[in-house]
A and B are shown apart, each in its own frame.
Chain A
């Protein structure tokens, strides 16, 4: 019973905040409730969304990854440099960058698992390493002007959704976000490896005793998170039409905030990618509301921090109620 409520109540709260924020926008501002706002919400937050899905996997397994923003910046400039300076085909460049992200994540996972060094310390070092490497590749912003990216990926691959009077154009970046989200939901719910992520997040020792491959699963989650960060970097580079080694500073915090607001427990074991997607949309909505309201952007940080506190406190409340219900039977 309590297990179900621990999973469902935070998700419902997330949904309520999202609906409430949108309703508030619709009531306060004239043009808020429109397809354009919804579309931009997805377009502007696709990169953060992909990154936050990677962060969800790691957090569900009971870990944390602070290297996300730096890996995004590294991927962006790496792809731009390969395409513009080395003449590599964009698709090949993106494949290479994704592989590098995967390998980087696996490397972090191996160090965390094999040498029992705290995850936040290893990924902190990874954050420095990826940021330095990004500047080492190319020290400033580099525009991507390759014809394939401009015409095929950003124009021809834009999908026109037949809604509203003129239809809604969905660019490739949003498709990547939705495909990654769907793949992650399938992975976590329907595959053995995905269930193992929850198991080691809930109690790694118990999982080990049940014969679940803890080491392999943990290294895999960091690898997948590195890959998601790389994909997010590619999405961001497509969105910006450029790579920049200084970009995405602190995005790991936004990604983690989206995961927490999405109802995932930061200690691992409880949560969902669906919630994370809603959490990303909430962060985007706050940004949109602040743009519409024309107030100082510092309010965003305070609102996000306040929401994080609210959701973490809610989870503590649910846990303490569950503990109280369980205590007499266990004593």
Chain B
């Protein structure tokens, strides 16, 4: 009991930074953006800026869930953007040939699982650094996607497939529901079973985990596979939203947003501790920031710059060195009178 109190406190404290940043952003919008919090019920569906943020942030959110698991093992997956492109290309090509929607979804999921497993095997069996291992698929992936689409933008008419990106369940857009399901499933799998503990132990030290009987390699491969599956889900959302597969632009820079969401959420890039809820808040923060910048008439091309500054600021606040220094200054302040 005595141990549980402070631990809970710390995990709540770690979420304080992203939550505070999100709160600041929302407060800014409450003052400067008219109608930001307006919600409207129309044709059995909820509309409004907040719903937009959730809807457009769902791709980053879903990928960030998989990315959190990978980063928890001490790795990183740079190939998610390319996997989005491949999964979208497969689903759209099948749909354009009048395949049923379940087949399209299953094929896209299969592609994601295969891509993730490939990354995981490169990391565990070939012992490549994760950046290098996943960079290979990142470089190759868009080529593979274009191989599938024959270098063209594939369009399709299937209304049932396009309802994934455009439809709604219980008033909320389907992507938001998918994000919620993915978040709850990942949370339950890692916090209600031993899987989360295993992930953290592998991230702390793969060798020590293996010696104490944790199947470190299997855990790592599973993490990358789940990440690939999440990327495939994002690919399905993207291609069904625009009813087309664009091998060049689908999921472009998604890996960056996903990694940033995870980092903002307080998961250390060195592996070990992770927070799925933190990553979710990070994804929301990134999407809300993007939306705010657009609403303040900052062009889509310039928007990355302020985003980068926010990320750098959050990283610096998480940096142990800076914290140590601030703590040192705070401790020294009462004594400054004695030291010249």
Contacts and interface: CB of A to CB of B under 8 A. Distances in A.
Interface residues of A, number: 45
B43 interface: no
A85 to B, nearest CB: 18
Contacts of A267: 129
Contacts of A257: 139
Contacts of B151: 296-298
Given A114-B321, A121-B269, A129 B304 contact: yes
B181 interface: no
A120 B303 CA distance: 20
Given A135-B299, A135-B301, A308-B136, A296 B309 contact: no
Interface string B282-309: 0000000000000000010111111111
A123 to B, nearest CB: 10
A182 interface: no
Nearest to B256: A124
Interface string A117-128: 110111011111
A139 interface: yes
Nearest to A67: B308
Interface string B74-90: 00100000000000000
Contacts of A121: 259, 263, 269, 311, 315
Nearest to A113: B321
Smallest CB-CB A-B distances: 3 pairs: A132-B305, A305-B140, A301-B143
A165 interface: no
Contacts of A129: 304-305, 308-309
Interface string A100-136: 0000000000010011111011101111110111011
B132 interface: yes
B273 interface: no
23 contacts: A115-B316, A115-B322, A116-B321, A117-B319, A120-B76, A121-B263, A128-B311, A131-B301, A132-B301, A136-B302, A266-B132, A296-B146, A296-B151, A297-B151, A298-B146, A301-B140, A301-B146, A302-B144, A302-B147, A305-B136, A312-B132, A313-B126, A316-B127
A305 B139 contact: yes
Contacts of A306: 140
A298 B305 CA distance: 30
B142 A298 contact: yes
Interface string B127-162: 111011001111111111011001100000000000
A193 interface: no
A133 B305 contact: yes
Nearest to A302: B143
Contacts of A297: 151
A308 B137 CA distance: 10
A192 B82 CA distance: 41
B30 interface: no
A124 B264 CA distance: 14
Contacts of B135: 253, 256, 308
Contacts of B132: 260, 266, 312
B12 interface: no
Nearest to A66: B256
B140 A115 contact: no
